């Protein structure tokens, strides 16, 4: 089968390579010429997907995968066209910005052949596939279900484990009309050997993905709310989670300094714009986005002020092991700290000093080279499990966002331990620590 994958980003390139490895002839279309050139040389611009960098050269050499910046030409022979152009929201009013997707669908409409199946895999607001993009493909008199086919099928994957997730998670599809849904269900079912939920419509499949995302955002917000309560009452919420979840109907999530990436903090807004009375979803967004400010409040209180205080943020990407800073809670935390007068250093094992500087932070490291009054360990990143507070000159406070550290070790090193949902442990003097 000839397949075109539109956009070769963190999702599109691995997905294109997986289809190519299954024996299909794949053309990847992306507007970024550098990325297209790299792909055609067999070089993966993504380093965190297991096996991708090794597999790509062979697929390109064998002629199974090629890339182009010309989407209209790139889809000309395709039986299946998969769209993975991202859809983000405006940072101020949180409205979706469709310009990249609109351009992609215009190009597809120009180039696609009769009988092609177009599947939108990017998460979108309910009604987008039919209301916004179907008319683009039908322009010129083509009819869905007769001249071409169209469905929505969300990618439910996580970066760094795309291949495993694709072969494990059931597939959700929804056709614009029944035959489109059946075609999509057949393609995915045959190629990935996973159960397929062929829902009643494209809208149902769009909503399924939004419902999953809102579920996660709301439950993380609940965990954050409970964690703040626990911490204020001297209770360690980390102990509560496994104990409460031993009751089969309890599924407490993990608290933290907020949620990041361009999925969970974004998709609830797709629903909020046309949802009457979705107060819980709106509150979850506010609660999760408020966690960075809550963290900064605690550091400020513990230090007795933030003016000229040096604060080192450890783990700037939104998730350990994934080189992605989009919507990372650490960006908001850095802004809030600077607003209150602090000097902000940043470190991440996946980011270069230039990349840290481009985010407005001073490139730094928790190795003694950057004295700091406070350090923040963003998540439970294995890289920081060996974090040694003694190594940082002047360190007085550590905020442990992902419960990665032993509070007693931090206190014994002479710094106050602050956790999310964990009682603070005051710094101990050397004499107290050795007693
Ligand atoms: N990243 C994730 O963890 C994840 C997880 C599940 C689902 N998804 C879905 O995948 C979508 C894509 O995410 P991503 O992480 O791959 O994005 P990304 O930011 O890594 O990549 C986007 C790519 O799209 C290209 N692009 C932009 N406009 C284009 C156009 N008009 N034509 C062709 N290419 C264009 C860009 O050049 C870039 O290479 C998301 O919006 C989301 O719905 C992502």
156 and 19 part of one domain: yes
Give the model's pLDDT for residue 317: 96
Digit-coded pLDDT (tens) for 85-127: 999 999 889 999 999 999 999 999 999 999 999 999 999 999 9
Closest CA to 374 of 300, 430, 432: 300
Angle at CA 424, nearest 5°, toward 423 and 426? Answer: 140
As for ligand 1, residues whose beta carbon falls within 6 Å of it are 6-12, 29-32, 35, 71, 84-87, 100, 103-104, 122-123, 155, 157-159, 261-263
What's the mean pLDDT in 141-162?
96
243 and 320 part of one domain: yes
Digit-coded pLDDT (tens) for 174-213: 999 999 999 999 999 999 999 999 999 999 999 999 999 9
Closest CA to 171 of 208, 217, 222: 208
- Which residue's CA is the closest to the ligand 1 atom numbered 33? 30
In this structure, what token pair is assigned to residue 16? 């294109």
Give the model's pLDDT for residue 276: 83
Render 351-398 in DSSP notation, one character per residue: S-HHHHHHTTSEE--TTTTS--SEEEE-S--GGGTT--GGGSTT--EE
Ligand 1: residue of 6, 30, 108 to mutate (most ligand atoms within 8 A of CB) is 30
Beta strand pairing call for 196-199 and 2-6? unpaired
For the CA atoms of 305, 311, 315, 317, the dihedral, rounded to the nearest 10 degrees, stands at 80
How far apart are the CA of 10 and the centre of ligand 1, in A?
Answer: 6
How far apart are the CA of 100 and the centre of ligand 1, in A?
Answer: 10
- Which residue's CA is the closest to the ligand 1 atom numbered 29? 100
How far apart are the CA of 122 and the centre of ligand 1, in A?
Answer: 8
194 and 210 part of one domain: no
Digit-coded pLDDT (tens) for 297-324: 999 999 999 999 999 999 999 999 889 9
What DSSP designation does 154 have?
Answer: -
Ramachandran region, residue 382 (left: φ > 0; alpha: ψ -120 to 50; beta: rest): alpha
Beta strand pairing call for 310-314 and 416-419? unpaired
What's the mean pLDDT in 145-157?
97
Number of Cα atoms under 13 Å in the Cβ half of residue 63: 0
307 and 433 part of one domain: yes
How far apart are the CA of 52 and the centre of ligand 1, in A?
Answer: 17
Categorize the per-residue pLDDT at 433 as very low, low, confident or very high, splitting at 50, 70 and 90: low
Cα–Cα dist 65/18, whole Å? 10
213 and 76 part of one domain: no
Domain boundary among 200, 235, 265: 200
Tokens 């890289």 identify what position? 383
Domain extent at residue 137: 2-200
Going across the sheet that includes 80-83, the strands are 65-68, 25-29, 2-6, 80-83, 117-120, 149-152, 171-175, 196-199
Q: SS3 for 26?
A: strand
174 and 244 part of one domain: no
263 and 376 part of one domain: yes
157 and 293 part of one domain: no
Domain boundary among 153, 172, 200: 200
Ligand 1: residue of 4, 6, 12 to mutate (most ligand atoms within 8 A of CB) is 12
Categorize the per-residue pLDDT at 396 as very low, low, confident or very high, splitting at 50, 70 and 90: very high
In this structure, what token pair is assigned to residue 427? 């710094």
Closest CA to 425 of 404, 401, 408: 408
Number of Cα atoms under 13 Å in the Cβ half of residue 259: 26
Cα–Cα dist 51/267, whole Å? 29
Q: What is the CATH number of the domain that holds 313?
A: 3.40.50.720
Categorize the per-residue pLDDT at 262 as very low, low, confident or very high, splitting at 50, 70 and 90: confident
What DSSP designation does 168 have?
Answer: T
Give the model's pLDDT for residue 435: 65
Question: Catalytic: 263?
Answer: yes
Q: SS3 for 176?
A: coil
Identify the bridge partners of residue 171 per DSSP, sorted by sequence position.
196
What DSSP designation does 251 have?
Answer: -
151 and 256 part of one domain: no
53 and 84 part of one domain: yes
What's the mean pLDDT in 151-155?
98
Q: What is the pTM (predicted TM-score) of this model?
A: 0.94
Q: What integer best gives the mean pLDDT of the chain?
A: 96
Domain boundary among 200, 224, 240: 200
Question: Catalytic: 254?
Answer: no
Categorize the per-residue pLDDT at 348 as very low, low, confident or very high, splitting at 50, 70 and 90: very high
Give the model's pLDDT for residue 149: 98
Digit-coded pLDDT (tens) for 13-28: 999 999 999 999 999 9
Give the model's pLDDT for residue 141: 94
241 and 352 part of one domain: yes
Which of ligand 1's atoms lies nearest the C-alpha of 103?
31
209 and 329 part of one domain: yes
The number of folded domains in the chain is: 2
Which of ligand 1's atoms lies nearest the C-alpha of 35?
39
Q: To which H or E segment does residue 238 belong?
A: helix 237-244
- Which residue's CA is the closest to the ligand 1 atom numbered 12? 86
Could you tell me what percent of the chain has a pLDDT over 70?
99
């Amino acid at each position: 089968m000839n397949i075109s994958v539109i956009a070769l980003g963190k999702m599109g390139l691995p997905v294109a390579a997986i289809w190519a490895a299954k024996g299909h002839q794949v053309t990847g279309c992306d507007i970024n010429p550098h990325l297209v050139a790299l792909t055609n040389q067999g070089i993966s611009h993504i380093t965190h997907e297991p096996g991708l960098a090794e597999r790509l050269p062979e697929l390109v050499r064998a002629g199974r995968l090629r890339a182009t910046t010309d989407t209209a030409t790139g889809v000309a022979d395709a039986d299946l066209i998969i769209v993975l152009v991202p859809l983000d929201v405006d940072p101020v009013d949180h409205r979706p910005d469709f310009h990249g997707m609109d351009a992609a669908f215009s190009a597809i409409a120009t180039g696609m052949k009769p009988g092609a199946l177009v599947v939108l895999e990017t998460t979108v607001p309910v009604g987008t596939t039919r209301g916004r993009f179907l008319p683009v493909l039908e322009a010129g008199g083509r009819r869905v279900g007769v001249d071409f086919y169209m469905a929505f099928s969300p990618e439910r994957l996580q970066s760094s484990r795309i291949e495993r997730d694709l072969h494990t998670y059931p597939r959700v599809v929804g056709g614009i009309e029944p035959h489109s849904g059946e075609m999509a269900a057949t393609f995915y079912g045959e190629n990935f050997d996973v159960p397929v939920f062929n829902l009643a419509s494209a809208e149902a499949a769009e909503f399924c993905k939004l419902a999953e995302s809102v579920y996660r955002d709301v439950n993380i917000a609940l965990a954050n709310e409970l964690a703040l309560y626990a911490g204020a009452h001297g209770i360690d919420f980390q102990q509560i989670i496994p104990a409460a979840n031993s009751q089969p109907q309890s599924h407490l999530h993990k608290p933290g300094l907020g949620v990041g990436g361009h999925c969970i903090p974004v998709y609830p807004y797709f629903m909020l714009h046309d949802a009457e009375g979705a107060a819980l979803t709106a509150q979850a967004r506010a609660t999760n986005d408020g966690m960075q400010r809550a963290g900064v409040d605690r550091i400020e209180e513990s230090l007795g002020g933030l003016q000229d205080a040096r604060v080192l943020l450890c783990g700037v990407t939104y998730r350990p092991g994934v080189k992605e800073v989009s919507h990372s809670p650490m960006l908001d935390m850095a802004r809030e700290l600077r607003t209150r007068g602090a000097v902000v250093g940043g470190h991440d094992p996946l980011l270069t000093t230039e990349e840290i500087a481009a985010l407005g932070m001073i490139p730094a490291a928790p190795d003694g080279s950057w004295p700091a009054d406070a350090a923040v360990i963003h998540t439970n990143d294995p890289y920081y499990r060996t974090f040694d507070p003694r190594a940082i000159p002047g360190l007085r406070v550590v905020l442990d966002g992902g419960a990665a550290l032993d509070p007693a070790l931090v206190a014994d090193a002479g710094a106050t331990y602050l956790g999310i949902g964990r009682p603070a442990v005051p710094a101990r003097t050397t004499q107290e620590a050795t007693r």
